[in-house]
Amino acid sequence: MQPFASVEVYTTAPASVQVDGPSFRRRLADVTRWTDAAGCTGLLVYSDNSLIDPWLVAQLILEQAERATPLVAVQPVYVSPYAAARMAATLTFLHGRRIHLNLVTGGSRQHLEALGDDGVEHDERYDRLTEYATIVRQLLDSPRPVTFEGRYHRVRAASLPQRPPAPLSPRLVLSGSSERSVRCAGELGILRFAYPKPASDYPAGGPLLRGAGVRLGIIARADTAAAWRAAHERFPGDPMGERRHRVVSRLTDSHWHAELSAAEAEGVYWLHPFTTYRTFCPYLVGSYDEVGAYLAGYLARGVESVILDIPAEEDDLHHARLALASGAALVPGA
């Protein structure tokens, strides 16, 4: 399979829900193999209280992939900055591979309360994340012991047992759609991934998507009808899922979740998988040219990277490639 050439692409690792361990490992191995063969940068390994440890999933990915790397969700409530830096350095030491870290604040109030972290408000969590990322980066990059005194985190003369060589130092990215997340990514000088609203909601030339990435699903086919048939077969109606989505919407202060919940579907832009609690991102559905033209709207506004939703089969990445190539052809320099 030819690699993606027009835009940086990650896929998403499967979730460890409603499945036993051996079945999950087989499914993860399949998705890792498809991601590797497609030439994608790596796989997002997201994390919340309902999922198994993302670092152990990352270890499985590294055992299976020849090139693709795990993009591991890192939440300050789950592990200290020292533990995160040491785990990333350990995986690089064992595999000789670069690890990517996806910095997240946690959006479920219920999950944060379960861990005794209900006293930190939304914007404060990004203040904390800035301190966290600063310590992680210094531990990974500094040849000298690190001392940092912050409001939320502090270390004193801390160093790692095995610091990665500079070319393999982990890449840091951040997930978020709020204004505070935009500032946080700017302060850290790192790529920010957003769950995108309809492309028309972003002013042309505006800053919200400039140099950013987006997470979305793509179901594209040679003609429109075939794409929508595939979409409805994969995501049929689900009243129970709709009720779960409404409950979750009341339990989160996540900016992106509120934005998507308030967004309106329009043509190619489809929210049914999100509003039935089947996934946490919008989908683009249509012919290669239709989806490509819609993607071009994001690319023209400065999007540089895409995280695709969990592929159901290997052909999903073939179809996504054709749509992305169609969109990139419409945007000079994409």
| Tens of pLDDT, residues 106-163 | 767 777 677 777 777 888 999 999 999 999 999 999 999 999 999 999 999 999 999 9
pLDDT band at 259 (very low <50, low <70, confident <90, very high): confident
At 255 the pLDDT is 66
> Which distant-in-sequence residues (6+ apart) come within 8 Å of 263 by Cβ?
197, 198, 201, 269, 271, 282
- Provide the 3-class DSSP secondary structure of residue 307: strand
> With bands split at pLDDT 50, 70 and 90, how would you rate the model's confidence at 229?
very high
Check whether 1 has a pLDDT greater than 50: no
Helices (H), 199-254: 224-234, 239-250
Q: Among candidates 310, 255, 250, which has minimal Cα distance to 283? A: 310
Q: For residue 333, what pLDDT band results from cuts at 50, 70 and 90?
A: low
Name residues whose C-beta falls within 8 Å of residue 56's C-beta, 6 or more positions apart in sequence: none
Lowest mean pLDDT among 30-44, 89-103, 203-217, 308-322: 203-217
Apex CA 216: angle with CA 102 and CA 182, to 5°? 50
- HSE-CB for 188 with a 13 A CA cutoff: 28
DSSP states of 174-193: EE--SHHHHHHHHHHT-EEE
- Residue 5: its pLDDT value, please? 55
pTM score: 0.91
| DSSP result, 2-42 | PPP-SSEEEEEPPP-SSS-HHHHHHHHHHHHHHHHHTT-SE
Residue 206 has pLDDT above 80, yes or no: no
Confidence of residue 4 (pLDDT cuts 50, 70, 90): low
Average pLDDT for the chain: 91
Amino acid 106: pLDDT: 76
Checking if the pLDDT of 173 tops 60, the result is yes
Residue ranges per domain, the chain?
202-334
> Using 50, 70 and 90 to split pLDDT, how confident is the model at 242?
confident
